[in-house]
Structures are given as structure tokens and as C-alpha cells.
Amino acid sequence: MAKVSKDMLVGELVNTHPELIDTLLDVGMHCLGCPSSQMESLEDACLVHGLNPNEVLSALNTKLAELEA
């Protein structure tokens, strides 16, 4: 089972798992097309946007597990 980690770049995450885009938008991560997303880790992007990285990571991995089930 693939897992998302906090050190993944946002751009990498979107390219590798486009099925998680809606989840990212739902948690408040609206910068997916931003040039910074290509060089910013998920954790850093969460902190910049005032989001809890652990909560976002949990939501993403939960959704990924549901899709793979």
C-alpha cells in the first residue's frame, strides 16, 4: 500500500496521486497549481497555510487506503 509522507513535495503528491486532489482541496490546501508546490514539502505547505500537517497527512492516507481497498 502506498503511503503519503510529510516530506513529499506537493507537486510530486499531486502528480503521483491525482485521486487525492479533492482531499487536499477539502482540507484547505488550495495552492496545488502554485509554482511553490513543485518545491515545497507537504509539511511546509501545511505550515504556510495554517494547517496541521498530521491531520492533513491522516486525511490523505485514509483516503488513499479507502481507494485501494
> Based on the number of CB atoms within 10 Å of its own CB, is 61 exposed (0-12), middle (13-18) or buried (19 or more)?
middle
Q: Is the pLDDT of residue 1 over 70?
A: no
pTM, full prediction: 0.88
Q: Which residues contact 2 (CB under 8 A, 6 or more apart)?
A: 16, 17, 64, 68
Q: Which residues contact 1 (CB under 8 A, 6 or more apart)?
A: 64, 65, 68
* pLDDT score recorded for residue 22: 94
Q: Which tens digits make up the pLDDT trace of 5-60?
A: 999 999 999 999 999 999 999 999 887 777 877 889 999 999 999 999 999 999 99
